[in-house]
């Protein structure tokens, strides 16, 4: 294969990655090509333009040039050629761009290994982020070993990138927030298990294909009602147990800032619950929207009252959504059986939190989990493998890197499981599985196609890993899966299920998580919203693609 993917060594020696990234651009329209080139060059990428796949392919095969990533325009006229390109240059991470959203083309490209499909005009952010695919590919090729080593320089380079003061005030703020979390969670400490970047295209708060994503959560956005219950000001006691916008869709930037302070109680903040657009559910919830607003005011009033005394003593830990999120993440990463207080604590990296706190929370967590799983088990899903409405990526999430580019920042809530406090009114629709105990959602679903791509994982160009699965954070897509369902899917390989082996299923999941942890190649979300699996399959078969091109062998998951 005329593969031009860079090697680990190359990455190692790469000074200011991703500067100098060599981009192969196939664009039939000269104007667009130039425009694109300019943009890319502004980002310090090195661009070579080809107006058709043949030129590009010959350049590749001549080895006259090498490339790290390809950006390929596809349209109705050139698609067959482009397909050929994809097939031939299948080692080159290829990003499709297109004017029309022809779903079948899109899918075919993805099926042929395209790593991303973007609509034109492509935003700068997305262009900026193409390097992620290179890293990802690299990580992928590295087979999980030494990946973190290999990516170290990249990481460093990213750190500096993140620390740059960004022009845009708003995004700048977010960026720094992200950076901070980054540092906390992944960079400063030994967390380099997850070096693979995650492309947040799916999650961009702005427009785009994924509007449905946060919808569900958004509906739950409520103020915290705690204030009204107890006369005492909770905010004082609990300092900064703030909640970051779980549902970023709503999240106002303002609330975000405050919220971020969460862990740093040292800042003595009296927390501002006012705007927190968490998924909290007020008691007055079912009524109407206006009550919501009222609630907000109320809570803010209360807060103000007590804002004066800033008592530092924190007698109780407030397990805010964020805290819990971290907690769950930690647990997920460790695997349920490895999840012990000390390690969780370590992973969480929350200042001031004690092992005892974690232990206590863990206790509760386990109880709920125990309680909930069996119940879920009973209401096992009636539609096996097929039903398009729910085909979930059956793996537990292990978050890699949040987005790097400022404009790619995704508010935390999109990535992590939303916190739906117990008692949340789910309106009869079970949002994320457990109507019984919505608070303990275990994030687990993700990409719809995964179940089908187990064998041809890589070929799908979709977020999968060679042998294992990467766990993925909950991407709150349109429908949410229910936990058990997911387990079964995975356990049975999305075939038919014998709805009995809950335990086995659980073990599998745990194991998957463990494996995922030990194998750093995390999937990259694609820049397009995955159609339902059924849809994809139909489309593919309609196109005569019964099996996916070889590419990389992705062994089945047991």
Partner DNA sequence: GTAGGAATAT
Partner DNA sequence: CATATTCCTA
Q: Which residues lie near DNA (CB under 7 A)? A: 315-319, 340-343, 355-357, 359-364, 366, 421-423, 439
Burial class (CB in 10 A: 0-12, 13-18, 19+), 124: middle
CA distance 513 to 534: 26
Q: How far is the CB of 305 from DNA (least distance, A)?
A: 22
Instruction: Tell me the sheet residues that pair with 117.
Output: 96
Give Rg (Cα) of the chain: 23
Looking at the Cβ atoms of 215 and 360, the one nearer to DNA is 360
CA distance 29 to 8: 34
DSSP string covering 285-298: TTS-HHHHHHHHHH
Looking at the Cβ atoms of 137 and 361, the one nearer to DNA is 361
Looking at the Cβ atoms of 238 and 446, the one nearer to DNA is 238
Q: How far is the CB of 265 from DNA (least distance, A)?
A: 12
Looking at the Cβ atoms of 152 and 283, the one nearer to DNA is 283
DSSP string covering 217-270: HHHH-----HHHHSSS-HHHHTTT-----SSTTT--HHHHHHHHGGG-GGG-PP
Q: How far is the CB of 422 from DNA (least distance, A)?
A: 4
Chain length of the chain: 558
CB atoms within 10 A of CB 245: 30
Q: How far is the CB of 320 from DNA (least distance, A)?
A: 7
In a 13 Å sphere around the CA of 215, the CA atoms on its Cβ side amount to 10
Q: How far is the CB of 180 from DNA (least distance, A)?
A: 23
Q: Look at residue 99 and give its three-state secondary structure.
A: coil
Looking at the Cβ atoms of 316 and 547, the one nearer to DNA is 316
Looking at the Cβ atoms of 143 and 422, the one nearer to DNA is 422
Looking at the Cβ atoms of 42 and 351, the one nearer to DNA is 351
Residues 6+ apart with CB under 8 A from 7: 138, 141
Contact between 332 and 341 under an 8 Å Cβ cutoff? The reply is no
Cα–Cα nearest to 187, from 351, 332, 349, 358 = 349
Looking at the Cβ atoms of 196 and 353, the one nearer to DNA is 353
CA distances from 552 to 168, 464, 466 (A): 41, 11, 8
CA distances from 145 to 8, 456, 521 (A): 11, 21, 9
Q: How far is the CB of 437 from DNA (least distance, A)?
A: 9
Looking at the Cβ atoms of 350 and 476, the one nearer to DNA is 350
CA distance 306 to 227: 11
Q: How far is the CB of 363 from DNA (least distance, A)?
A: 5
Q: Is the peptide bond before 18 cis (omega within 30 degrees of 0)?
A: yes
Q: How far is the CB of 317 from DNA (least distance, A)?
A: 3
Q: How far is the CB of 360 from DNA (least distance, A)?
A: 4
């Amino acid at each position: 294969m005329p593969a031009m993917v860079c090697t680990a060594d190359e990455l190692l020696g790469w000074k200011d990655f991703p500067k100098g990234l060599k981009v192969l651009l196939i664009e039939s329209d000269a104007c667009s090509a130039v425009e694109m080139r300019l943009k890319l060059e502004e980002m310090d990428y090195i661009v070579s333009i080809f107006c058709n796949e043949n030129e590009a392919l010959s350049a590749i095969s001549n080895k006259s040039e090498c490339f790290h990533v390809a950006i390929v325009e596809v349209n109705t006229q050139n698609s067959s050629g482009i397909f050929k390109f994809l097939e031939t240059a299948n080692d080159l991470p290829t990003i499709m761009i297109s004017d029309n959203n022809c779903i079948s083309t899109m899918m075919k490209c993805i099926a042929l290994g395209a790593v991303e499909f973007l609509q034109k005009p492509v935003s700068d952010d997305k262009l900026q982020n193409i390097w992620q695919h290179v890293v990802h590919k690299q990580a992928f090729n590295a087979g999980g070993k030494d990946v973190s080593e290999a990516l170290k320089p990249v990481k460093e380079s990213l750190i500096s990138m993140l620390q740059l003061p960004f022009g845009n005030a708003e995004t700048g703020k977010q960026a720094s927030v992200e950076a901070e979390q980054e540092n906390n969670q992944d960079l400063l400490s030994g967390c380099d298990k997850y070096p693979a970047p995650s492309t947040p295209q799916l999650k961009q708060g702005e427009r785009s294909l994924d509007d449905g994503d946060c919808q569900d959560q958004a509906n739950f956005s409520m103020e915290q009602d705690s204030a009204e219950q107890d006369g005492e000001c909770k905010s004082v006691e609990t300092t900064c147990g703030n909640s970051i916008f779980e549902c970023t869709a709503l999240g106002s930037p303002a609330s975000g800032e405050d919220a971020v302070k969460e862990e740093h109680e040292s800042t003595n903040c009296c927390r501002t619950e006012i705007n927190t657009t968490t998924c909290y559910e007020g008691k007055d919830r079912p009524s109407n929207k206006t009550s919501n607003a009222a609630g907000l005011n109320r809570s803010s009033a209360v807060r103000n009252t007590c804002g004066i005394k800033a008592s530092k003593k924190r007698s109780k830990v407030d397990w805010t959504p964020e805290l819990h999120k971290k907690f769950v993440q930690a647990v997920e990463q460790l695997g349920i059986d490895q999840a012990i207080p000390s390690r969780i604590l370590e992973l969480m990296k929350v200042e001031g939190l004690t092992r005892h706190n974690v232990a206590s929370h863990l206790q509760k967590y386990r109880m709920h989990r125990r309680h909930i799983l069996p119940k879920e088990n009973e209401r096992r899903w009636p539609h096996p493998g097929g039903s398009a409405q729910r085909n979930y990526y059956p793996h537990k999430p292990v978050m890699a890197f949040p987005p790097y580019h400022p404009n790619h920042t995704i508010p935390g809530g999109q990535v992590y499981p939303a916190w739906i406090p117990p008692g949340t009114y789910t309106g009869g629709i079970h949002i994320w599985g457990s109507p019984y105990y919505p608070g303990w959602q275990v994030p687990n679903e993700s990409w719809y196609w995964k179940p089908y791509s187990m064998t041809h994982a890589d070929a799908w160009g979709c977020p999968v890993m060679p042998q294992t699965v990467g766990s993925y954070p909950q991407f709150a897509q349109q429908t949410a899966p229910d936990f058990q369902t997911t387990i079964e899917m995975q356990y049975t390989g999305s075939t038919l299920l014998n709805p009995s082996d809950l335990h086995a299923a659980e073990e599998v999941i745990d194991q998957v998580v463990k494996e995922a942890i030990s194998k750093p190649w995390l999937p990259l979300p694609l820049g397009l919203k995955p159609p339902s699996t059924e849809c994809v399959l139909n489309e593919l078969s309609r196109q005569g693609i019964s099996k996916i091109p070889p590419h990389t062998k992705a062994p089945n998951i047991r």
